[in-house]
């Protein structure tokens, strides 16, 4: 920053407000240092500049030289553009803009901000190694001003979101609590409280989550549909299937109208999850949900930001249709699943889609060769290094399609019992964590 022009601006504002040099300096600096600052002789820190601004009753931007103010606005505009590109999944353009901004200025706080933008970009691209590398640089740094402190709080929130998505709920809670200690902006603090409520609910701490939600509803955002959803969900999780269920069912249309497709899909997954527990009680909802989706699934296919959830929703509905042996619904859902496969050919989520398609063949159009082909595709789509009950099921089904030797009949019967138990009691495409609304990432 040009200290001569800055000093002139401080003197100009001081005189306009009829404040003497001594009055401005009192409690902040010696009279000599204050004089040197106004004369552009002495450099001042960000903290010292903010203390002068507070005494003069102006913002930092108002004291900045005009050319630097314009340049700073250009940097802020560029940062906003990068954030928009990241959330719209324009990753290559975001990379280009980050590099461009890096070359525009050597200012340290801006480069510190770029670490966060790179971490955010890596997160959206699923490159977790890069995320933690940048986050570590941010969190190991000693913040020199409020901007850097804000970036650190955002980084802690992002670390919480990532650990939550990876299933490490304890670390997610710890990171989010640390972020709440740093944040000063009320709107951002509200989002942190919301994240804490979601994490506590996912950990099974329903009472703690309810306390946070009740406080949020009482203080400021009782009309937020996501808060209403989470509040009703907590009631459902404690066994209240009455009014809260109807509230969630009505909220789903609000989510759709507001283009909050992520929470919309999660609310639908809840009904599929409950239908598996109590079929007769939730049959009406499943029928109406399917009729609704038959009209709007094409729109969901086009949504990039909820790709995995949209695939999961199609899979969960197909799984439900196969259990009910509803061939007509199953055929419609397979068409949508094929659309997702064509749109996102590299997604590991398709492994379960191929498996469900093999079950469709088994149920409605028995063809051993086609079943074997689909199960092999399911195995190929699944990460080779991963081990799971699901992968064991795929290999077992593949073995079942082969020749049946008498010497192995007892083994096969035992394996069949294990298989049926795991599949029917423990293997559900809708996992509990998908029912909770998504955590916020702050900008």
* Between residues 418 and 94, the one the model is more confident about: 94
Asked if residue 22 and residue 148 are part of one domain, the reply reads no
Q: Per-residue pLDDT for 1 more than 90?
A: no
Asked if residue 58 and residue 111 are part of one domain, the reply reads no
User: Is residue 6 within 8 Å of residue 63, measured between CB atoms?
Assistant: yes
178 lies in some domain: no
Asked if residue 77 and residue 20 are part of one domain, the reply reads no
Q: What is the pLDDT of residues 228-270, one digit of tens each?
A: 888 888 888 888 888 888 888 888 888 888 888 888 888 888 8
Which residues have a Cβ under 8 Å from the Cβ of 197 and sit 6 or more positions away? 209, 212, 213, 216, 230
Asked if residue 91 and residue 20 are part of one domain, the reply reads no
Average pLDDT, the chain: 81
Asked if residue 29 and residue 53 are part of one domain, the reply reads yes
Which residues have a Cβ under 8 Å from the Cβ of 437 and sit 6 or more positions away? 198, 226, 229, 230, 262, 263, 266
Q: Which structural domain, as residue segments, surrounds residue 128?
A: 67-158
DSSP 44: -
333 lies in some domain: yes
182 lies in some domain: no
Total number of residues shown for the chain: 443
pLDDT, residue 244, reads 87
Residue from 143, 99, 141, 103 nearest 121 by CA: 99
Q: What is the pLDDT of residues 310-365, one digit of tens each?
A: 888 888 889 888 988 989 889 988 988 898 888 888 777 888 999 999 999 999 99
* Between residues 277 and 21, the one the model is more confident about: 21
pLDDT, residue 149, reads 86
* pLDDT tier for residue 406 given thresholds of 50, 70 and 90: very low
- Identify which of 58-62, 98-102, 381-385 has the greatest average pLDDT: 98-102
Q: Which helix (H) or strand (E) holds 120?
A: helix 108-124
Asked if residue 58 and residue 71 are part of one domain, the reply reads no
Asked if residue 395 and residue 303 are part of one domain, the reply reads yes
Instruction: Name all contacts of 188-195 with Cβ < 8 Å and 24+ positions apart.
Output: 188/153, 188/154, 188/442, 190/216, 190/220, 190/221, 191/157, 191/440, 191/442, 192/157, 192/440, 194/226, 194/227, 194/230, 194/439, 194/440, 195/157, 195/160, 195/161, 195/439, 195/440
* Between residues 290 and 161, the one the model is more confident about: 161
Domain C-terminal end among 141, 158, 175: 158
Domain C-terminal end among 158, 189, 218: 158
214 lies in some domain: no
Q: What is the pLDDT of residues 150-184, one digit of tens each?
A: 889 989 999 999 998 888 999 999 999 999 888 76
Total structural domains within the chain = 3
The structure's pTM equals 0.70
363 lies in some domain: yes
* pLDDT tier for residue 407 given thresholds of 50, 70 and 90: very low
Q: What is the pLDDT of residues 107-159, one digit of tens each?
A: 788 888 899 999 999 988 878 778 888 888 888 888 877 788 888 998 999 99
Asked if residue 399 and residue 297 are part of one domain, the reply reads yes
Which two tokens mark 382?
């699944």
Q: Per-residue pLDDT for 94 more than 50?
A: yes
Which residue is it, tokens 């009703």? 232
Q: What is the pLDDT of residues 52-80, one digit of tens each?
A: 888 888 887 777 766 666 666 788 888 88
User: Is residue 365 within 8 Å of residue 322, measured between CB atoms?
Assistant: no
pLDDT, residue 384, reads 63
- Rounded Cα–Cα distance for residues 262 and 315 (Å): 16
Angle formed at CA 263 by CA 257 and CA 264, multiple of 5 degrees: 50
312 lies in some domain: yes
Angle formed at CA 380 by CA 378 and CA 386, multiple of 5 degrees: 95
Asked if residue 434 and residue 347 are part of one domain, the reply reads yes
201 lies in some domain: no
Which two tokens mark 261?
């497709």
352 lies in some domain: yes
CATH code for the domain of 42: 1.10.260.40
Asked if residue 138 and residue 13 are part of one domain, the reply reads no
Domain C-terminal end among 114, 129, 158: 158
Asked if residue 408 and residue 327 are part of one domain, the reply reads yes
- Rounded Cα–Cα distance for residues 230 and 211 (Å): 12
Asked if residue 420 and residue 285 are part of one domain, the reply reads yes
pLDDT, residue 353, reads 92
CATH code for the domain of 136: 1.25.40
* Between residues 309 and 408, the one the model is more confident about: 309
């Amino acid at each position: 920053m040009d200290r001569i022009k800055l000093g002139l601006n401080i003197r100009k504002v001081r005189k306009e407000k009829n404040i003497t040099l001594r009055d401005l300096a009192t409690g902040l600096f010696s009279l000599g240092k204050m004089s040197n600052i106004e004369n552009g002789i002495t450099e001042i820190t960000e903290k010292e500049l903010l203390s002068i601004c507070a005494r003069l009753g102006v913002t930092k931007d108002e004291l900045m030289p005009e050319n630097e103010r314009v340049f700073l606005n250009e940097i802020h505009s560029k940062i906003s553009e990068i954030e928009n590109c990241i959330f719209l999944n324009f990753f290559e353009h975001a990379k280009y803009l980050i590099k461009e901004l890096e070359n525009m200025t050597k200012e340290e706080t801006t480069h510190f901000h770029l670490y966060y933008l790179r971490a955010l970009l890596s997160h959206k691209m699923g490159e977790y190694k890069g995320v933690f590398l940048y986050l570590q640089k941010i969190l190991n740094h000693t913040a020199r001003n409020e901007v850097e402190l804000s970036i650190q709080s955002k980084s802690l929130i992002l670390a919480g979101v990532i650990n939550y998505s990876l299933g490490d709920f304890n670390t997610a809670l710890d990171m989010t609590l640390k972020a709440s200690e740093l944040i000063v902006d009320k709107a951002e603090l509200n989002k942190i409280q919301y994240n804490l409520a979601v994490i506590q609910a996912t950990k099974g701490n329903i009472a703690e989550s309810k306390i946070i939600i009740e406080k949020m509803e009482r203080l400021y955002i009782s009309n937020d549909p996501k808060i209403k959803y989470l509040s009703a969900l907590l009631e459902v999780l404690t066994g209240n299937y009455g009014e809260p269920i109807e509230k969630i069912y009505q909220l789903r249309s609000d989510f759709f109208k507001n283009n909050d497709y992520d929470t919309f899909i999660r609310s639908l997954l809840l009904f599929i999850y409950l239908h598996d527990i109590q079929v007769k009680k939730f049959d009406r909802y499943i029928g109406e949900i399917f009729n609704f989706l038959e009209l709007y699934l094409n729109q969901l296919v086009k949504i990039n930001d909820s790709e995995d959830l949209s695939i999961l929703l199609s899979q969960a509905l197909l799984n439900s249709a196969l259990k009910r042996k509803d061939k007509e619904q199953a055929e419609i859902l397979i068409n949508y699943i094929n659309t997702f496969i064509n749109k996102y050919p590299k997604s590991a989520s398709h492994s379960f889609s191929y498996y469900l398609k093999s079950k469709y063949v088994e149920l409605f159009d028995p063809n051993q060769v086609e079943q074997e082909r689909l199960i092999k595709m399911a195995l190929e789509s699944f990460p080779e290094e991963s081990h799971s009950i699901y992968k064991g099921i795929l290999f077992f089904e593949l073995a079942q399609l082969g020749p049946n030797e008498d010497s192995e009949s007892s083994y096969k019967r035992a394996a069949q019992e294990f298989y049926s138990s795991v599949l029917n009691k423990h293997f559900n495409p809708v996992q509990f964590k998908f029912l909770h609304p998504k955590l916020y990432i702050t900008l």
